Amino acid sequence: MADHASDLRGLPRWHPDPLVRETLDRIRRCGWAVTAISDECMFHSSECETPECSFAYTTGLRLHELPEMAVYGLNAHTSYEVLKELGNVFHRYDWRQAVANSIPVQLESLEVPVVMIEVVDKSDFTVTNVVYPDAPVLQAVWPDDLDTYPWEVGYSLRPEHQYVKGVHDANALRVDGPRVISAYEGMNRAQRRRAARNWRRG
């Protein structure tokens, strides 16, 4: 088990980039941080550049023995909620099994389940690359309106709607373990539907 206090002491005390400094302060206060890059400029400046595809990523989950995480194509608030929920989910479930078996993760912040893939191109994650350059990063990938993921036939969204920065393992088989990981404490969506059908019959 990692010594969290020792890891915090190992963080750089200062960095010339103000965004990195602010993130380091947030990690010390909250344990980890989210950086969101979107058309919602926190400085409300006309000089802010809008990215082609909004995204957000974590820095500091490494302190909790988790990979860093990212999501593309969502607004800043939703991205934060998704990453926060994923951090909580993977404190309870093995993220390696979720990636290896392409287990969908049902979150409260999205109406559709996400699938986690390991990121290959980490160039967008500027702050994390400074603080934890060797940390693995997972991307939460969400489906289109027909519940089709980017690696499936019939996916209807254009690449700029959701960049995919990793590779989905087409040979991933859902074996031992849950069919869907849920952030809900109660029944998951399939269980709620089954209960509703049973109630209507009964």
Position with higher pLDDT, 194 vs 37: 37
Does residue 175 carry a pLDDT above 60?
no
Bridge partners of 35, per DSSP, are: 57
Q: What is the pLDDT of residues 132-162, one digit of tens each?
A: 999 999 999 999 999 999 999 999 999 999 9
What mean pLDDT is predicted for residues 115-132? 95
Q: What is the pLDDT of residues 80-92, one digit of tens each?
A: 999 999 999 999 9
Q: Provide the domain limits for residue 150.
A: 4-201
What mean pLDDT is predicted for residues 98-105? 92
> Per the structure, how many domains does the chain have?
1
Does residue 49 carry a pLDDT above 80?
no
Reported in sequence order, the residue ranges of the chain that DSSP labels E, i.e. its strands, are: 33-37, 55-59, 68-72, 105-106, 115-118, 137-141, 181-182
The confidence score (pLDDT) of residue 96 equals: 94
Assess contact for 164 and 138: CB atoms under 8 A.
no
pTM of the model: 0.81
